[in-house]
Chain A
Amino acid sequence: MATIAANLPDIGLTKPLLSVSGVTLQYKTRDHEVTATYRVGFEVYPSERYVVLGPSGCGKSTLLKAVGGYLTPTEGSIRLHGAIVKQPGADRMMVFQEFDQLLPWKTVKQNVIFPLLSSGTLRGKAAEERALDYIEKVNLTKFADTYPHTLSGGMKQRVAIARAMAMEPAILLMDEPFAALDALTRRKMQDELLELWDETRFTMIFVTHSIVEAIRVGSRILLLSPHPGQVKAEWNSVERDAPEREKAIGALETRIHEMLFADTVETEIVNG
């Protein structure tokens, strides 16, 4: 399990980019106050592909939204570069699961340019060049001038990724971006995401409920228990150039599965 050491040889020297400590998240529904996560803590280092994995209803999406600044922890703190996260901002670009995250009134190119302009990151020609550059990275150059409703689900998600990455944010927040895709497209998108990472070495938090996806995409995996989410374990994923990788993935998958679902069959029924 020397994955991190391989990916980040200087881990001892760098400070964590994001530190989440003792975060309890609660939200109110019509007649309940729900605790989504209880005292969750973790750290994300630069260029890590940090995966938050847990069954449905473990508060992992809520946790990501808190990092995004959409809700404030009732307890604990979230710090990015040492500063407390208070509100949403373009330094934490999000990619959502839903296909409707693209602005339908803008073309692919305009969608990618828009955050660059409205956040004041770049302007004019520079913004356009940056946008086209990232559109090319996700292989959508041919579709730069089309409107989102003409694209397939996978293409829409690629635009959303290009849009987020073009901002070159401190950290990329991905909320089950491939969950609504068919299995083949999903697998392809995972590979493409890794290729992009090879190119730019961005830092990301990737939320998923798929164990295989977590192992393939992540370099480090945080396992949350269901309802409310609490840290069960934090493991390194299988190295991408590991010998007999498929076998190692299978082994880790079994190990995670046992860890997450060992509890009882009861929780399954309660959640189901």
Chain B
Amino acid sequence: MAKTLLATVRPERAGTPVDAAKFGIVQKRLSTWENVWNQAWLRKLLILIALAAIWEIYGRAVNNQLIVPPFSDTIKAFFASIADGELPAKVWTSIKVLSFGYAMGVFLAAVLTTLAITTRFGNDLLETLTAMFNPLPAIALLPLALLWFGLKPFSLAFVLIHSVLWPVALNTHTGFVAVSTTLRMVGKNYGLRGVGYVAKILIPAAFPSILAGLKLGWAFAWRTLIAAELVFGVTTGGGGLGWFIVENKNVLNIPYVFAGLFTVILIGLFVENVIFRTIEQRTIRRWGMAS
């Protein structure tokens, strides 16, 4: 081997790069079809349409309104219920309780995590509390909440706070801890201390984790709320979306039960794909903190 290598000294060579304008395509625009197919929402919409079609066909095959009403009947019930104002009223009741519980949960999580990163005791407190309460299903607290606060919306809110607080606190704290030493030093270098340091350096730097926590908290809260309403039933005046489902099940109005579930899904999709996605695109995606 060594002999052959020594024997052949390869000559040098020079290339002559051609001006880019002289040869065809360097960058080619994607075709219309490729552009269309690149839209995530369109692909997802297609999945939804396919699912609705399968549902419709299966419902017609079963041909029993009490077991699986077809998609078309569900939609009819959905619009009828919107038209007579019942569904919007129930949704509004649910959303009110939900936003209160969610906001309180996020606020408490912010307080706890701020304590946790500023003091060692706060850190121990947060770690212990999240370890204790995070695995505890919120719905398991409902009997206690009813005992303490009675048949009031606050009982629901209490359970919601519980379901939001721990995942949000845990994620935010993990995010804070993971902020790079360099960024921390940069913040200190600017003379930032205390709240200013948390607000201007830690929160934006940990924003991917915080957002993940908020999403998780939202999913937990929404599920807990519907479940709690199913158990909890009606409070003062009109109940929420969960109650709408129970009520219609009791009178065997199954298309309306499906319409209720459909609404739960719609709201879930809206929050996930419109609200959180918009926040994500304007923040962490734009900043290159998420791909």
Given the complex of chains A and B, what is the CA–CA distance between A148 and B180 in angstroms? 16
Partner of A88 from the list B182, B189, B196 (CB cut-off 8 Å) is B189
Chain A residues with CB below 8 A from B205, complex form: 103-105
Which A residues contact B (CB, under 8 angstroms)?
Answer: 65, 68, 70, 87-90, 92-94, 96, 98, 100-101, 103-105, 114-115, 118-119, 147-150
Q: What is the CB-to-nearest-CB distance from A203 to chain B, in angstroms, rounded to a whole number?
A: 17
Sample (18) of A-B pairs whose CB atoms are under 8 Å apart: A65-B185, A68-B189, A70-B188, A87-B188, A89-B189, A89-B191, A90-B190, A90-B191, A93-B189, A94-B189, A96-B185, A105-B289, A114-B190, A115-B189, A118-B190, A118-B192, A118-B200, A148-B288
Q: Is B123 an interface residue (CB 8 A)?
A: no
Cβ–Cβ contact B286 & A147, under 8 A: yes
Known A70-B185, A103-B183, A118-B200: A150·B190 in contact at CB below 8 Å: no
* Beyond A119-B190, A149-B289, 12 additional pairs, beta carbon < 8 A: A68-B185, A68-B189, A89-B191, A93-B189, A96-B185, A96-B186, A98-B180, A98-B182, A104-B287, A104-B288, A114-B200, A118-B191
How many A-B pairs fall under 8 Å by CB?
A: 65
Known A98-B180, A119-B191: A88·B185 in contact at CB below 8 Å: yes
Given the complex of chains A and B, what is the CA–CA distance between A89 and B196 in angstroms? 15
**Interface size class of chain B, counting residues whose CB lies under 8 Å from the partner chain:** 20 to 34
- Which residue of B has the minimal Cβ distance to A102? B186
Q: Is B283 an interface residue (CB 8 A)?
A: yes
Which B residues contact A (CB, under 8 angstroms)?
Answer: 180, 182-183, 185-186, 188-192, 196, 200-201, 204-205, 207, 283, 286-289
Chain A residues with CB below 8 A from B180, complex form: 98, 100
Chain B residues with CB below 8 A from A98, complex form: 180, 182
Cβ–Cβ contact B188 & A88, under 8 A: yes
Q: What is the CB-to-nearest-CB distance from B28 to chain A, in angstroms, rounded to a whole number?
A: 22
Chain A residues with CB below 8 A from B288, complex form: 104, 147-150
Given the complex of chains A and B, what is the CA–CA distance between A119 and B193 in angstroms? 11
Cβ–Cβ contact B186 & A147, under 8 A: no
Chain A residues with CB below 8 A from B183, complex form: 100-101, 103
Given the complex of chains A and B, what is the CA–CA distance between A93 and B190 in angstroms? 8
Cβ–Cβ contact A90 & B189, under 8 A: yes
Chain A residues with CB below 8 A from B196, complex form: 118
Chain A residues with CB below 8 A from B204, complex form: 103, 105
Q: What is the CB-to-nearest-CB distance from A76 to chain B, in angstroms, rounded to a whole number?
A: 22
Q: What is the CB-to-nearest-CB distance from B173 to chain A, in angstroms, rounded to a whole number?
A: 20
Partner of B182 from the list A68, A101, A114, A147 (CB cut-off 8 Å) is A101
Chain B residues with CB below 8 A from A148, complex form: 288
Given the complex of chains A and B, what is the CA–CA distance between A68 and B185 in angstroms? 10
Given the complex of chains A and B, what is the CA–CA distance between A148 and B204 in angstroms? 14
Chain B residues with CB below 8 A from A149, complex form: 287-289
Q: What is the CB-to-nearest-CB distance from B5 to chain A, in angstroms, rounded to a whole number?
A: 28
- Which residue of A has the minimal Cβ distance to B203? A105
Chain B residues with CB below 8 A from A92, complex form: 189
Chain A residues with CB below 8 A from B185, complex form: 65, 68, 70, 88, 94, 96
Q: What is the CB-to-nearest-CB distance from B216 to chain A, in angstroms, rounded to a whole number?
A: 22
- Which residue of A has the minimal Cβ distance to B192? A118
The 6 closest A-B pairs by CB, nearest first: A149-B288, A88-B188, A105-B204, A98-B182, A104-B287, A115-B190
Q: What is the CB-to-nearest-CB distance from B188 to chain A, in angstroms, rounded to a whole number?
A: 4
Chain A residues with CB below 8 A from B283, complex form: 105
